[in-house]
A = this chain, B = another copy of it.
Amino acid sequence: MENFDFHVTTDIRFGKDRLDELPQVLNAFGKNVLLVYGGGSIKKSGLYDKLYEQFNRNDNNIVELAGVDPNPRIETVQQGVQLCKQNAIDVVLPVGGGSVIDCSKAIAASVFVSGDLWENFVLPKNYTGPALPIVTVLTLAATGSEMNGTCVISNMDAQIKLGVHGESLLPKVSFLDPTNTFSVNSYQTAAGSADILSHLMENYFNATPGTEVQDEIAEGLMKTVIKYLPIALEKPDDYTARANLMWASTLALNGLIGKGKKGSWSCHAMEHELSAFYDITHGVGLAMITPRWMAHILDEDTIPKFQRFAQEIWDVEEEEPKRAAEVGIQKLYEFFASCGIPMTLPEVGIQREENFEEMAQCAVAHSSISNQGFVPLHEEDVASIYRACMSESSFV
């Protein structure tokens, strides 16, 4: 196990019917609130009205930034920064999933950044400056952004999607009410869970030895997601399923699984290029890439961990190690497919391979997968994994 710091100070308010705590939480920072949300699903679900009940009784001054896209754009960040400056915003309140929270983090920090935001905030990747306080109301179990200091921002002109980390980006308070995810449709529910599983697997398949605590917790959270995603798809208002998915999503990326390990995430680096070039749903891209990546890197050195994955997560009884590993990968693939996730690129509208070489170059250039991946990946590896996503796969 590597040395690490663990200092995750977000105040989590988990459970039903806790929005009446919001005024007191906001008042710790001020009355002027930037409310950030996405496509308006919070209006349909009734959450928007419930928020305004609290704002009204609390005399808040609310400024809205609506319409944040999935894969949030640097332009939206710029727009939010302007609103903060014009309205002397005291606290940023994202109500939504990871995209809305990530966009809000970038806004909260960029208020203090001068010059070009892409150049001065995103490209350096590590932000050490201050940020406005962030309070989140989560509506999608997926990214874990509600309890970490990372945001991912896209520049569609340059076709680049990059993560920025900074201590000041950590939300001060996050409201995690599972009932706010009852109205998430099947596609987004499945894609969100694929994202959770990916966070767990990216850290689980790692070369640092002696990290049993992290690996056991990762296995437990994977099993939880695999148990409850089908239940949430079958019965979207199953509280227990939604609660376990939500808390698993938060814990999957708050440091608990990744701290104490070295190395670089492979599938996210590859998926970021898919999203940057084609703007597809992040979790769907991850679900497609992950089993092909696993099959691509399966060799003598990696088989033992994949065999453990097969046994612990998928109850594979096959004893021959390589065969067991392959069955585990197949089970993962079939699980994603059974949850309604499109498992080939043509199904999400990517019919031709023309950009794969350039995307592979970018994936390697924008990350450290070529030297710090679980298995180092070079451009030809990445392109080959993209190509494997063009048709259905079988791993056994």
Measured CB to CB, the closest approach of chain B to A246, in angstroms, equals 9
A interface: dominant SS? mixed
Contacting A221 at CB < 8 Å: which of B14, B217, B223, B239? B217
**A13→B259 CA distance, assembly (Å):** 11
Contacting A217 at CB < 8 Å: which of B1, B220, B260? B220
Q: Please report the total number of A residues contacting B with Cβ < 8 Å.
A: 41
Q: Are B14 and A243 in contact (CB under 8 A)?
A: no
* Given A217-B220, A220-B217, A220-B219: A212 touches B244 (CB 8 Å cut-off): yes
0/1 interface trace, chain A 308-347, chain B, CB 8 Å (1 if under): 0000000000000000000000000000000000000000
Q: Are B1 and A247 in contact (CB under 8 A)?
A: yes
Residue in chain B with minimal CB distance to A16: B3
Stretch touching chain B among A4-12, A266-274, A349-357: A4-12
Which residues of B lie under 8 Å from residue A15 when comparing CB positions?
1-4
Chain A positions within 8 Å of B, measured between CB atoms, are 1-16, 18, 209-213, 216-217, 219-221, 223-224, 227-228, 239-240, 243-244, 247-248, 251, 256, 259-260
- How many copies, total? 2
Residue in chain B with minimal CB distance to A224: B212
Measured CB to CB, the closest approach of chain B to A173, in angstroms, equals 9
**A248→B381 CA distance, assembly (Å):** 37
Contacting A5 at CB < 8 Å: which of B11, B16, B243? B11
Q: Are B3 and A18 in contact (CB under 8 A)?
A: yes
**A308→B212 CA distance, assembly (Å):** 21
Which residues of B lie under 8 Å from residue A239 when comparing CB positions?
1, 210
**A9→B172 CA distance, assembly (Å):** 11
